[in-house]
Structure 1
């Protein structure tokens, strides 16, 4: 979190009407100041500005929208697309006259002895003086930059407007579409705060937007980039998750049972809440099925669980689980289990973290999820191939879940099926408290599955390797495979007398 000074009391701040942005700002904007909202065309500046004014109308404040670029018709169309009514939002449309843009007809807006305002500036001052608004939006500064003709006149004009607005106790948003200089540091130095919005275009998938507070004098705020989306009704901002803001509650250590006695025995009784389990192995080895077993066991016990599926359609997951003896329809209907299919092409890291946080903290005011399944890390990484520092963001998310006392299951599919060449897409074993390893091995002419726990930070666990099988009866785990050696390599050697394996009697 970035800070300059302690923020004033929340009752003194100006709410923007966007909950996520207000959270980033520490409650809102300091009143009676001038702020710069900058971003390229299409990044969401107008939508944010209109939402801020409508919030003022809701609070009974007088507002004013001064437009030098968009027409009233265009603004009304933007509002209509969001289901808004601009009743109570006066719009002053100031279109620069053609003569004003000709160099020969430009008058100096400021002179040494006396300030002479141009037609546009005088019109702005007149409307503010007449309506006496509390919130003002000026859209956009690129037109005023053209009228000023040079940097000195432009800066002095903005300074004069700043003093004028502050003297009339207005909170002002100056919109800049960045069509002039790449980064107008002169303008940023004048403003009390600077909010930068960006629109990114990945090679595949929908565009992504993010914002950053470049500057905010005298107020605590959350630094860094924050993802957001433009939806019907305005902006949905996803504040960057900071795990340190959610300290560990030091609750009593309680174990989550899977409902399969042999699996719980491998884990030393179960998985502790507040820890993360990494389930790693080749595709088809049963990782997702075991996480569903844990989620169903929790839901059946009245503990809310949330499954985020990157790799599998929701309906496919439900059908597959039912064929394995895990009917999820009851917990889904009772609300103790949620299964959310994640669309890889429409996702940003901030939005995903927000969805997880919303599930954990409870959407309807009820208890939040205490079991979270992310299936899989491969899908998470592939969904956002152009994003940097995904591992760091994942670490922050897992730390947050641990602080909240959530049992987290993270599925990772290794490249390859058997042998020594299996590799993981990214090494995340260091962030996991428990590592459960899945392997294929061959015995008696059949491909079989093996399960073992190779790491557990809290408490003891079995060091044995057990056979693992999925059938219509559910998940079955056999006795330790003491007659085999080299199972983890996929090419075991038989070293003892024959023993029955799972499925030998009826398959």
Structure 2
């Protein structure tokens, strides 16, 4: 999408929160941008944000509307809290003044035909107002005023040149549809912005941008009562800071012994095991110990409600409420369809970059995949991005991963995410002497040595208790161990 060396050209804010960063600062001044999308996708409000931002900056703006009548556009802007009282309108919609008389209008230059020319009307308006920003919504309506495609392209190109030559930055909207392709318009403009809709979200994508690089991909576009908001995709390569790795203790000597002192900070650790085995509790134990040193953590829970999470934590001597009150812990419960994946990664960035979080826990991978809108067909791709971002920022990541077998054939992860993890802590139910017990061990640590023994794990009212290693038991990971090779 890099197309030309003109990086010295000044930038014009798009007015849409989050979208300027995708364009690396905004539109280039005195250029024409085509905003494409199906009916109802938000093109008009997208354009109104652009004009309102100019008015807020003391610029002049002109809205040439060929679709909805002027009063509807004004009501829409007010509904989203946009101040466009100083905006000039040229109403060329079917209900506009230009279409109320008996004369027939055409898009042609008046020198070419005898009928009055809309281009001439636009030229007159431009000369009177001298606008800094112009929107033509939708420019595809002009097709109905020309006899063939050649004349349409010729006149639109002439109109765009006219606007740019007067110093205007221009937005054109297009009703993108298979029945009315707009490929010709895309060739005539400097930039193309695509608004797409699918089952769970709107996205915005920049497919063309002359004169500068832009951020590629489908970025979440949200429309709310406050207006538009763009949530850019997380690009971990854009974020990095210097950091020094240390050991993050669990505060449980036997568990720290398993980990040769603790988890290495700035790495990603998976807590893997079946439901109810203690994955979340183990993660909170690391956060409790970090809180005692004044470090800040954030927990994103996808699989438990707030009441249950807090009750369980307090019952095992993890003072989650006190940690929150002291500012060393933030807990967010993420409900189904509540956030898009881009909104979620934005929240992680805000916690890390603005609030100083040193530990981020995602609890757990199944909920992450099922709850967030816009997760990739392969959710590992999104988790890899988050993991790389946390590593680059020197933040410790804890991710709980549920393995569905309670006992039986052992698998560390169900979703083949083990390569994402720098460390994997395995928690397991085992049947021994007619009762269910828990064991804990370390399957992988990239950054240091670790103890290759399994230890018994108990979760008590006093907290985690990790016992001695169990060298006499065989087949622990099958869930039904034997004593010295024989059934006990």
Structure 1 residue 107: deviation in Å? 5.2
The one-character-per-residue Cα deviations of 1:351-373 (angstroms, maximum 9, x if unpaired) are: 221111121111xxxx4211000
Cα distance between partner residues in 1 of 2:250 and 2:384? 25
1:380-437 CA distances to partner (integer Å, 9 max, x unpaired)? 1123587424322221221111010010011110122100175844110001000011
CA contact (8 A) 2:407 2:429 kept: yes
Q: CA deviation at 1:180?
A: 6.5
Contact 1:42 1:199 in 2 (8 A): no
- C-alpha distance in structure 1 between counterparts of 2:412 and 2:367, whole Å: 16
2:213 equivalent in structure 1: 220
Written as runs of structure 1 = structure 2, the 5 A alignment for 1:2-81 is 2-5=1-4, 8-9=7-8, 12-81=10-79
TM-score normalised by structure 2 residue count: 0.92
State how 1:256-295 maps to structure 2 within 5 Å: 256-295=248-287
Counterpart secondary structure, 1:417: coil
- The one of 370, 385, 389 equivalent to 1:382 is 370
**Residue aligning to 2:80:** 82
Q: Structure 1 residue aligned with 2:421, among 432, 436, 442?
A: 432
**Equivalent in the alignment of 2:336:** 344
Retained in 2: the 8 A contact 1:39–1:196? Answer: yes
Is the contact made by 2:409 and 2:477 (CA closer than 8 Å) also made in structure 1? no
Q: After superposing the two structures, state which structure 1 stretch, 404-413 or 392-401, moved more.
A: 392-401
Report whether the alignment pairs 1:234 with 2:222.
no
- 1:391-402 counterparts in 2 under 5 A? 391-402=380-391
423 and 140 in structure 1: CA distance in 2 versus 1, 3 angstrom threshold? same
Q: Contact between 2:273 and 2:412, CA under 8 Å: does it hold in 1? A: no
Partner deviation per Cα, 1:433-491 (whole Å, 9 max, x = no partner) = 00011111122321000000010001111111011111211111111112211111101
Distance 2:374 2:51 in 1: 37
Distance 1:67 1:481, change over 3 A: same
1:317, distance to aligned residue in structure 2 (A): 1.1
The answer for unaligned runs of 5 or more in structure 2 is none
Residue 404 of structure 1 corresponds to 393
Secondary structure, aligned partner of 1:344: coil
Alpha-carbon distance, 1:268 to partner: 1.0
Alignment of 1:57-456 (within 5 A): 57-96=55-94, 109=108, 114=112, 119-179=117-177, 181=179, 183-201=181-199, 207-247=200-240, 249=242, 251-362=243-354, 367-383=355-371, 384=373, 387-420=376-409, 424-456=413-445
SS at match of 2:271: strand
1:475 aligned counterpart, secondary structure: strand
Distance in 2 separating the partners of 1:257 and 1:9? 51
In 2, the alpha carbon distance for the partners of 1:43 and 1:295 equals: 43
Alignment deviations for residues 322-347 of structure 1 (CA, whole Å, 9 cap, x no partner): 11111211221222211111122233
**d(CA) in 2 for partners of 1:370 and 1:85?**
41
Supply the distance in 2 between the matched residues of 1:361 and 1:428 (Cα, whole angstroms).
26
8 A Cα contact 2:369 2:375, kept in partner: no
Change (3 A) 1:358 1:419: same
CA 1:496–1:109: 2 relative to 1, 3 Å: closer
Mapped to 1, the partners of 2:115 and 2:46 lie a distance apart of 29
CA contact (8 A) 1:65 1:138 kept: yes
TM-score of the superposed pair, with normalisation by structure 1:
0.89
Unaligned runs of 5+ in 1: 202-206, 500-507
| More displaced stretch, 125-134 vs 418-427 | 418-427
Q: Kindly indicate whether the alpha-carbon contact (under 8 Å) linking 1:110 and 1:117 is maintained by their aligned counterparts in 2.
A: no
CA RMSD of aligned residues (A): 2.6
Partners of 1:427 and 1:117 lie apart in 2 by: 69
Moved more, 271-280 or 290-299: 290-299
State the number of aligned residues. 483
Q: CA deviation at 1:153?
A: 1.9
Structure 1 residues 66-105: Cα deviation after superposition (integer angstroms, max 9, x where no partner): 211112222233223222332222233222379979xx96
Could you tell me whether the CA contact under 8 Å between 1:248 and 1:402 is conserved in 2?
Answer: no
Q: Structure 1 residues 124, 300: CA separation in 2 closer, same or farther (over 3 Å shift)?
A: farther
Q: CA deviation at 1:263?
A: 1.4
Q: C-alpha distance in 2, partners of 1:214/1:468?
A: 54
Which residue of the partner structure matches residue 482 of structure 2? Answer: 493
Q: 2:374 and 2:22 mapped to 1: Cα distance?
A: 26
